[in-house]
């Protein structure tokens, strides 16, 4: 049996652009992609903290250190500049792979720079 598990999360990044007439995707600062292990063109889920809207698209690499989080195409109807979003990627893992698996969690500051990383959700946050 394989389970669909959280592979990586980029937590509370600020949308910098919303480009409706672009082909699609979310362009993400390359530093955040590398730190999270999310690959360019990988399917991602995005959850908008401001309005509760959720969508699925794929990741594109934005310039490293730019702080860019650009929601593009039809997804631009679900997030606007200034909105806070969570970006997540999932992986299918076997029972054996789960024994040693931990997700990569990347937390961002107000400028979409890495504030810290973790391999598990802190207990006080999980209980809240």
- For 2-127, CATH gives 2.40.40.20
In whole angstroms, what is the distance from residue 119 CA to residue 104 CA?
5
Tell me: pLDDT of 125 over 70: no
Question: From the CB of residue 108, how many other CB atoms can be counted at a distance below 10 Å?
Answer: 23
Exposure of 37 in the CB half-sphere (CA atoms within 13 A): 14
Residue 128 confidence (pLDDT): 53
The whole-model pTM stands at 0.92
- DSSP of 11-28: EEEEP-EEETTSSSEEEE
* 78: DSSP letter: T
Task: List the one residue out of 102, 120, 127 whose CA is nearest residue 11.
Answer: 120
SS3 33: helix
Query: Which residues are known to be catalytic?
Result: 25, 58
Task: Give domain limits for the chain.
Answer: 2-127
Residue 121 confidence (pLDDT): 74
pLDDT of 5-56, one tens digit each?
999 999 999 999 999 998 879 999 999 999 999 999 999 999 999 999 999 9
Q: Which helix (H) or strand (E) holds 19?
A: strand 17-19
């Amino acid at each position: 049996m394989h389970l669909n598990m959280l592979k990586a999360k980029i937590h509370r990044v600020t949308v910098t652009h919303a480009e409706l007439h672009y082909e699609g995707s979310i362009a993400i600062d390359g530093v955040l992609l590398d730190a999270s292990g999310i690959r360019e063109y990988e399917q991602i889920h995005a959850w908008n903290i401001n309005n509760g809207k959720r969508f699925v698209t794929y990741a594109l690499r934005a310039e490293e250190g730019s702080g860019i989080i650009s929601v593009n195409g039809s997804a631009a109807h679900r997030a606007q500049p200034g909105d806070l979003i969570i970006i997540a990627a999932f992986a299918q893992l076997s029972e054996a792979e789960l024994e040693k698996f931990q997700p990569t969690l990347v937390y961002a500051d107000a400028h979409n720079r890495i504030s810290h990383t973790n391999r598990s959700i802190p207990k006080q946050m999980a209980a809240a």
